[in-house]
Structure 1
Amino acid sequence: MKIERRYDIDWLRVIAIAFLLIYHIAIVFQPWAMLIGFIRSDEISTAIWQPMTMLNVWRIPILFYVSGMGVYFALRKRNNIELLKERAKRILLPFLFGIVAITPLHMFMFQDYYSMGLSYYPHMGHLWFLGNIFIYVLIGFPVFYGIQKGVFSKFIAFSKQLFSNPLGLLSVNAFFVAEVLVLQPKPFAMYAQTWHGFAIGLLAFFFGFLFMKTGKVFWNTVKRWKWLFLGLAAILYTVRYVLFGAEGPLYLTSIESNSWIFSIFGFCHQYLNKPSKILSYLSKAAYPVYIIHMIVLYLAAKFILLLNLPALIAFVLITLITFIGCYLLYEFLIRRIPILRPLFGLNWKVDIKKRSETIVVNKA
């Protein structure tokens, strides 16, 4: 059986990680950057942060949605035990490697920049969500097993009916609203190593899997009603920003978050569900780049901030250096050295030669 490749979901992963890099760079120019261990610019910029107030309510949840979708695809050619082994190699190994070898490095740079005493301790840093995803896979085992045995067939049939219209799809917000009303996160976008981040991630992971299980129903709905979801998200964001200074009522922010995500799913499904050589490269590079990007970001910030440039120019330069530096590290080290590849979520096999041969054959 030929398994369909969903290129729009690959693009979603790439785009979400690219936005996360930009978001992290923007933190450098905020007054509270040092409080969460970021190097901070002396020149603060509210202009840089304004678009981030829209981005920050969906930047992490969308990754958990995509992760749940990824498990659906993985289970089409694996059983539960094979899934566990595959996720341990792709997620758990890079996570464990990262907390002892990656995250302490950018903390060393932070300590050095502020002339602090250097101290080492393993910590999750920006890789916290990898640990969450692996736990979600373990929690989901009974559900995956039940689905394979047909235990939840009536529930899936009900879901297909529910998600066939926009109001039914928006009804999933009830779970997300309940989550924030119970946990009361302050602010909403405080995901890292919090119960709110764990709970909203688990919900997004579960629904991402369920959306895929409904077949084309979910995708047809978000594609058809993408402008409705976009309009709802824009209205809720405007209310949040104008009336509440970017931190509005939690229940409205939850609905806004999913509205952005559903609209993004719809636009990506309509316009990006097609193969390309660029996507083939970026889909493999995105995960390793995210793992290493904080080191490159801190290095770039250390040198650019010494130039005392206007905040916007410094932001652009740090962004360029971060993306270029991550590309160089991925292309010439991580991708080409077999022993490094599994530590960054890649398989052992270096496929550069094979890819080159394929290109030559295709040209011939």
Structure 2
Amino acid sequence: MTTERRYDIDWLRVIAIGLLLIYHIAIIFQPWAMFIGFMRNDESLESLWVPLTMLNVWRIPLLFYVSGMGLYFAMKKRNWSQLIVERTKRILLPFVFGILVVTPLHFLIFQKYYNMALSYFPHMGHLWFLGNIFAYVILLSPLLFYLKRHENGKFKKVLSKIMTYAIGPLSVSVFFMLELVLVKPQLFELYAQTWHGFFIGLLAFFFGYLVVYTGKTFWQTVSKWKWLYITIAAVLFTLRLKGFDVTSIYYLKAIESNCWIFGVFGLGYRYLNKPSSLLSYLSQAAYPVYIIHMFVLYAGALFILPLQIHPMLKFIAITLFAFVACYFIYEFILRRVNILRPLFGLKWKFNTEKKASEISKPVELN
């Protein structure tokens, strides 16, 4: 069975990982960084937080949407047992290895920077995302395989019809608003290791699967109405930024989040759905870079934060260090040392190289 390759989905995943690095570096320059376990520069750059406040309501849900889309493609050529085995190797193995080996490294750097007693302890850290994804695969696969067996059924026809209208994609926001009512999170943007993060991720993952399941209808709609979605999102963001402190604004974050995401999907479908050698490389690099990026940026911060230079220069220096160091670690270690590849979500490398066209797959964070 052949499946249309979706290069735009791969590009969005790569871009999201790049933004994640910048986002985490910017936290170092916020006055509350230590409250969430980040190293902190003595002099803040709170102006950085304005654009990141916009990004914060949709960056993680976007990755969950893309991961759900990736599961659809993975299921096209696998039965249930094959899928579980493959997801165990590609997600659970790096997740467990990361908890035991990778995430303790940046905690050790944190302890050293603040002259604390060095102590090792396993911790999910930023890899909580992988744990959630694997849980969603286990929980949702029976339902999703049922939908797969009924791809020509009434449900798909009704769903495709709904997605032909501009309001169709946005209608899923009702479920995200209901999650806020039921879970009552302290902050909408507090995703890591919270029930809110688990359930909003579950919804985004499920609807990510469904929008690909519907076929081209969804993509044609978001491509047509992308600027409408982005305008709505920008208006809602402006209300937040201006400090309109009303209860409804809290629930409107769910609509804003989905508007940004669907606008981005529309832009991606219109402009990014084409192959390139750069995408082939970056698509494979995204997963291992995600796994190592916290250790790398903490290592850079350890040496750069004590420098007597302007905080913006420190931010730029840590950013450059993180991207360059991640590239060298991926290119010259993770990509080339065969025994390490499965531990960082890469496939075992056989004697014959795979063609570049076989590398760039529309898959979830892997």
- 2: distance between equivalents of 1:29 and 1:248? 30
| Aligned partner of residue 115 in structure 2, secondary structure | coil
Structure 1 gap ranges (5+): 359-364
- Listed as ranges, the matches of 1:67-82 within 5 Å are 67-82=67-82
**1:89 equivalent in structure 2:** 89
**Any idea what the Cα deviations from partners look like across 1:113-145, whole Å, max 9, x if unmatched?**
001111111110000010000000001122123
Runs of 4+ in 1 over 4 A off after TM superposition: 245-248, 350-356
Q: Structure 2 counterpart of 1:211, which letter?
A: V
**1:186 equivalent in structure 2:** 186
**1:8 equivalent in structure 2:** 8
Kindly tell me: are residues 333 and 245 of structure 1, through their superposed partners in 2, closer, same or farther at Cα, counting changes over 3 Å?
farther
* C-alpha contact (below 8 Å) 1:188/1:253 kept by paired residues: yes
- 1: distance between equivalents of 2:336 and 2:192? 32
- Listed as ranges, the matches of 1:1-364 within 5 Å are 1-150=1-150, 153-244=153-244, 249-349=249-349
Decide which moves more: 150-159 or 256-265: 150-159
* C-alpha contact (below 8 Å) 1:65/1:208 kept by paired residues: yes
Count of equivalent residues: 357
* C-alpha contact (below 8 Å) 1:8/1:269 kept by paired residues: yes
| Aligned partner of residue 238 in structure 2, secondary structure | helix
- 2: distance between equivalents of 1:214 and 1:42? 50
* C-alpha contact (below 8 Å) 2:223/2:270 kept by paired residues: yes
Measure how far apart 1:166 and its partner are.
1.0
Kindly tell me: are residues 351 and 267 of structure 1, through their superposed partners in 2, closer, same or farther at Cα, counting changes over 3 Å?
farther
**1:362 equivalent in structure 2:** none
- 2: distance between equivalents of 1:149 and 1:254? 31
Kindly tell me: are residues 173 and 102 of structure 1, through their superposed partners in 2, closer, same or farther at Cα, counting changes over 3 Å?
same
| Aligned partner of residue 50 in structure 1, secondary structure | helix
Measure how far apart 1:276 and its partner are.
0.3
| Aligned partner of residue 4 in structure 1, secondary structure | coil
- 2: distance between equivalents of 1:68 and 1:140? 10
Measure how far apart 1:149 and its partner are.
3.0
Percent identity over paired residues: 59
* C-alpha contact (below 8 Å) 2:169/2:262 kept by paired residues: no
* C-alpha contact (below 8 Å) 1:93/1:343 kept by paired residues: yes
Kindly tell me: are residues 298 and 352 of structure 1, through their superposed partners in 2, closer, same or farther at Cα, counting changes over 3 Å?
farther
**Any idea what the Cα deviations from partners look like across 1:23-73, whole Å, max 9, x if unmatched?**
000000011111111110001111111111001101100000000000000
Kindly tell me: are residues 339 and 137 of structure 1, through their superposed partners in 2, closer, same or farther at Cα, counting changes over 3 Å?
same
- 2: distance between equivalents of 1:231 and 1:206? 25
- 2: distance between equivalents of 1:246 and 1:268? 33
| Aligned partner of residue 51 in structure 1, secondary structure | helix
**Any idea what the Cα deviations from partners look like across 1:237-288, whole Å, max 9, x if unmatched?**
0011112489983211110000000000000000000000100000000110
- Give the number of the structure with larger relative contact order, counting CA–CA contacts within 8 Å between residues 6 or more apart: 2
- 1: distance between equivalents of 2:63 and 2:149? 28
| Aligned partner of residue 115 in structure 1, secondary structure | coil
* C-alpha contact (below 8 Å) 1:222/1:265 kept by paired residues: yes
Measure how far apart 1:4 and its partner are.
1.6
- 2: distance between equivalents of 1:275 and 1:152? 30
Decide which moves more: 7-16 or 154-163: 154-163
* C-alpha contact (below 8 Å) 1:159/1:214 kept by paired residues: yes
- 2: distance between equivalents of 1:257 and 1:114? 36
- 2: distance between equivalents of 1:183 and 1:152? 35
RMSD: 1.9
- 2: distance between equivalents of 1:298 and 1:355? 35
* C-alpha contact (below 8 Å) 2:334/2:341 kept by paired residues: yes
Decide which moves more: 344-353 or 234-243: 344-353
